[in-house]
Structure 1
Amino acid sequence: MTLWRIRATVDDRPGYLSVLAASLALRGVNILTVQVHTTERGAVDDFLVDAPDTLDEVGLVAAVERGRGRDCWVARSEARGLADQPTRALGLATRLVREPDSTGEALRALLGADDVTWRPAPAGAGGGLTDTTMLLDDPAGGSFALRRAVPGFIPAEYARAQALVELSAAVARRAAEQVALVLPDGAEAAVRPATADDLPGVVELHEGCSARSRHHRYLGGAAMPPPARLRRLLEPARGVTLLATAGDPDSVVAMANLLAEGDEAEVALLVRDDWQRRGLGSALLRRLVGHAERAGYAALTLHVHAGNAPMLRTVRRLGRATPAERDGTLVTLTLPLAVGSRGERKAPLCTPPW
């Protein structure tokens, strides 16, 4: 028996796939896997089959045509072809997480492309898909051009390939955004954007903080926030969350949130007790201020407990005029940014005593 890959198009009507399968079965062909893709021209069926050694490519094409199939493509396969497309795609995605620079090789392996090239021009309005070519927009800029003589590309392959390119760009962007900090006492920490996968590490961060630290962060109490709230903090609808890790990439020692609403954003920090008073909070706050200025926000707001002297000192170290309003034990600090969301230059304001 020999493994073959077959691609054929049939009318997208009830029973037509069974007619094609029956025609193959009459010739002793065992269908191992099948995927059906709906297109404008009909249903494109991808088969991996085990056929008798006496049946060659011509015989398989004849069997497909007798089963009302058309536009038939047949090629020998190997045992690795037994892995279905979703499994192969997940394997390639895992590779991209480890090697984001291998996008071209991953696309070639995913689609069996004859040629994959990157070009600086975007795919543009004329890009997309034809039988033999595929243009994929690279979120980092430019585009990937793929060519395959046979079989023709189909929309499902285009969607898979574009998803792979976007994953690669996201992994590369996250790696570029990660920085290493050396604190004044010589300790090192890595700072990176958070993702939903960081929930276990952020839960451990909260568990490792004292009740006083959690109260200063959330103001309303020292209890652990529910997981749903932590997930929203990790991936805010607008804004960014930064995590600081030490040693193990999953060992979170601090979390800095920038949550945007309108043309202003609210900032809050949580630093594990043994990492406080070491300059980590100041470094995280400066990075959030830089992000807010690049994003065009007009001002940052911080709600700080009046007894949270370390946080008040952290804001002072920015060296910027920061108006403050006190309401009982709550101090609200407003940090005007250099350029507002409409590009107006903000005038410096006097800082009242805290």
Structure 2
Amino acid sequence: MTLWRIRATVDDRPGYLSVLTASLALRGVNILAVQVHTTERGAVDDFLVDAPDALDEADLVAAVERGRGRDCWVARSEARGLADQPTRVLGLANRLVRDPDAAGDALRTLLGADTVTWRPAPAGAGAGITGSTMLLADPGGGAFTLRRVAPDFTPAEYARAQALLELSATAARRAAEQVTLVLPDGTEAAVRPAGADDLAGVVELHEACSARSRHRRYLGGAAAPSAARLRRLLEPARGLTLLATANGDAGPTETVLAMANLLAEGDEAEVALLVRDDWQRRGLGSALLRRLVRHADQAGYAALVLHVHAENAPMLRALRRLGRPASTERDGALVTVTVPLAAGARGERKGPLLTPPV
């Protein structure tokens, strides 16, 4: 038996695929996998088959044509073709998360392209497929051109390739946004934007924090928030969440040391921090706070708002070290601090520096 790839177009009508598969079965061809690509010309069926050694390319083409298939393309395959398409795509996605610069090689592997070239000019209105040529917009800038001798590309392949490029761009952007902080005691921590896949690490962060730290962060009970709430904090609809980790390598061994949230509503943004107990009073919280303030300045928010327990002296000290004008309002044990950003960004000093609440 020999492995083959067969691609053919059939009318997208009930029963037509079964006619084609029956024609192949009559010749002893075992279908191992099939993908269906919907196009304007009909359904493009992509088969991986195991055929008797006595059958050659011409025999397989004839079998397809007798099964009402057209535009047939046949080529020998290898054992690696037995891996199903979702498994292959997930493997390539994992590779791109680790190495965003491998986008070209990933596209070649995904689509079996003969050539993959990148150019700095944007794809523009020309993005799409023309026969065996594909032009893809690179979200990071520029465009990729893919070519193969046969078969022609399909819209489904174009969509997969574009999604893979978008994943690569996201991974590259995340890597570029990661910085390494050197704290006053000489220790290092990596800081980067959070994502949905950080949920497990953030859950572990909350479990590692004392009840007092969780109470200071959430102003209520000492219990950790639900997974649903943590997901919303990791990817806020408006704003930014930063994570500090013990190393720069993303993965299951990464330890989250702190989480800093900037949650926007209207023209103001609320800030909150949670730092693991054994990393408190080392300058990590202050460093994260300064980064959130800088982001809020650049994003054009009018003010930052922080709700702090009056006994949370470390957080109040971190706010004073910003050197920004601020106002405070106390309601029992709760202090609300408002830091205007527009005035601060212009270098104006229209209010007093933060003073301890009374």
1:312 and 2:313 matched = no
The worse-fitting range, judged by mean Cα deviation, of 182-191 and 193-202 is: 193-202
Matches within 5 A, 1:264-283: 264-283=268-287
Partner of residue 299 from structure 1, selected from 293, 303, 307: 303
How much has 1:7 moved relative to structure 2? 0.3
Please report how far the alpha carbon of residue 197 of structure 1 lies from its aligned counterpart in structure 2 after TM superposition: 2.0
1:177: Cα distance to partner? 1.2
For structure 1, the residue ranges without an aligned partner over 5 or more in a row are none
Q: How far apart, CA to CA, are the structure 1 residues paired with 2:51 and 2:204?
A: 55
Q: Distance in 1 between matches of 2:293 and 2:136?
A: 35
Alpha-carbon offset, residue 51 of structure 1: 1.3
Contact 1:267 1:301 in 2 (8 A): yes
SS at match of 2:273: strand
- Is 2:320–2:355's contact at 8 Å kept on the other side of the alignment? no
* Preserved contact between residue 123 and residue 143 of structure 1 (Cα < 8 Å): yes
**Identity value in percent:** 81
Shift of 1:347: 4.2
Q: Distance in 1 between matches of 2:63 and 2:343?
A: 70
Question: Does residue 1:36 correspond to 2:40, yes or no?
Answer: no
What is the CA–CA distance in structure 2 between the aligned matches of 1:238 and 1:3, rounded to whole Å?
Answer: 51
Contact 1:336 1:346 in 2 (8 A): no
- Scaled by the length of structure 2, the TM-score of the pair is 0.94
Single out whichever of 259-268 and 327-336 deviates more from structure 2: 327-336
Residue 237 of structure 1 aligns to a residue whose secondary structure is: coil
Retained in 1: the 8 A contact 2:8–2:71?
yes
CA contact (8 A) 1:296 1:339 kept: no
Aligned residue in 2 for 1:195: 195
Equivalent runs, 1:1-354 vs 2, <5 Å = 1-247=1-247, 250-338=254-342, 347-351=348-352, 353-354=355-356
Question: Could you tell me how far 1:92 is from its partner in structure 2?
Answer: 1.0
Q: Distance in 2 between matches of 1:239 and 1:73?
A: 50
Q: Distance in 2 between matches of 1:155 and 1:346?
A: 53
Structure 2: 5+ residue stretches without partners: none
Note the alpha carbon deviations across 1:202-231, whole angstroms, 9 max, x for none: 122222222221111111222221221111
1:61 Cα deviation after fit? 0.9
Residues in 1 aligned to 2:48 and 2:199: alpha-carbon distance in whole angstroms: 40
- More off after superposition, 330-339 vs 311-320: 330-339
For residues 139-162 of structure 1, give each alpha carbon's deviation from its aligned partner in whole angstroms, at most 9, with x where no partner exists.
Answer: 211221112231000011011101
Looking at structure 2, the residues matched to 274 and 210 of structure 1 have their Cα atoms a distance apart, in angstroms, of: 10
Once residues 325 and 152 of structure 1 are traced to their aligned partners in structure 2, the CA distance between those partners, rounded to angstroms, is: 67
- Helix, strand or coil: the match of 1:64? helix
- Deviation of residue 168 (structure 1)? 0.8
CA distance in 2, matches of 1:149, 1:77: 16
Q: Contact between 1:132 and 1:150, CA under 8 Å: does it hold in 2?
A: yes
1:148-194 CA deviation, whole Å, 9 max, x = no partner?
Answer: 23100001101110111011111111111111111101121111111
**AA at the equivalent of 1:106:** A
Name the CA distance, whole Å, in 2 between partners of 1:45 and 1:32: 13
Q: TM-score, normalised by structure 1?
A: 0.95
- The alignment of Structure 1 onto Structure 2 pairs a total of residues equal to 351
Letter in 1 for 2:287: A
State the Cα RMSD in Å. Answer: 1.7
